[in-house]
């Protein structure tokens, strides 16, 4: 976790001045994480709301994937702090932050449910597992991604393609049953 002196320097104040705004270092960290979570949710929600109402749900999921990744890597360090630190926070702080997490999770849940209802998603995929896998993969990118390794636009494109192709309903095959797990 960051030192209070580093946070104060970034804010352009002396370390003791932080306590004018926050009762403790933990309260500051909780607020930083909350700002990251809420900022990501707002960016994703705004991107979806900007789409035409008739936009297919799978396209909305891809827009959400892009907005989430861009929030992680362009918006601010708040978002990355949220992803990296929430698991290390005391249980009472995590409980308070879960309110925001659940609300954001419901945004994704609605997208996945809408896509399933519209026949856009594979029938053989558990929606909850798919949703958590997609968000988990996106949230892991701050651990390995740098712009020097691959441009952000390339990362976004790859994530959208993998998400779309992994979730999209399979074309019906005439005269055969749906494929089961691959066998050697």
Q: Please provide the DSSP assignment of 10-74 as one string.
A: HHTS-HHHHHHH-SSHHHHHHHHHHHHHHHHHHHHHHHHHTS-TTS-HHHHHHHHHHHHHHIIII
Q: Copy the structure tokens of residue 34.
A: 């909350």
* Least confident stretch, 21-25, 36-40, 112-116: 21-25
32, 81 Cβ separation under 8 angstroms:
yes
Range ranked top by mean pLDDT from 8-12, 140-144, 168-172, 173-177: 140-144
Residue 121 in domain? yes
Residue 25 in domain? no
Number of domains in the chain: 1
Range of 98's domain? 32-167
Residue 134 in domain? yes
pTM of this prediction? 0.81
Residue 68 in domain? yes
Residue 15 in domain? no
Dist. CA 171–CA 151, nearest whole Å: 33
CATH of the domain at 141: 1.10.357.10
Residue 119 in domain? yes
Residue 3 in domain? no
Backbone angle region of 140, left / alpha / beta, with phi > 0 → left and psi within -120 to 50 → alpha: alpha
Query: Over the stretch 72-109, which tens digit does the pLDDT of each residue have?
Result: 898 766 666 666 667 777 788 888 888 888 999 999 99
Residue 138 in domain? yes
């Amino acid at each position: 976790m960051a030192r209070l002196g580093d946070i104060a320097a970034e804010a352009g104040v002396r370390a003791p001045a932080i306590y004018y705004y926050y009762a403790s270092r933990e309260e500051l960290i909780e607020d930083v994480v909350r700002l990251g979570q809420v900022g990501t949710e707002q960016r994703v929600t705004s991107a979806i709301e900007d789409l035409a109402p008739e936009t297919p749900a799978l396209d909305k999921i891809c827009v959400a994937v892009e907005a989430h990744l861009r929030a992680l890597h362009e918006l601010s360090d708040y978002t990355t702090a949220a992803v990296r630190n929430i698991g290390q926070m005391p249980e009472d702080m995590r409980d308070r932050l879960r309110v925001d997490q659940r609300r954001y999770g419901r945004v994704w849940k609605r997208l996945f449910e809408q896509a399933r209802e519209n026949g856009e998603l594979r029938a053989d995929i558990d929606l909850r597992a798919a949703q958590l896998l997609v968000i988990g993969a996106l949230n892991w990118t701050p651990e390995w991604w740098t712009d020097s390794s691959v441009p952000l636009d390339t990362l976004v494109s790859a994530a959208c393609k993998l998400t779309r192709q992994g979730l999209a309903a399979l074309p019906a095959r005439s005269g055969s049953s749906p494929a089961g797990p691959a066998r050697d």
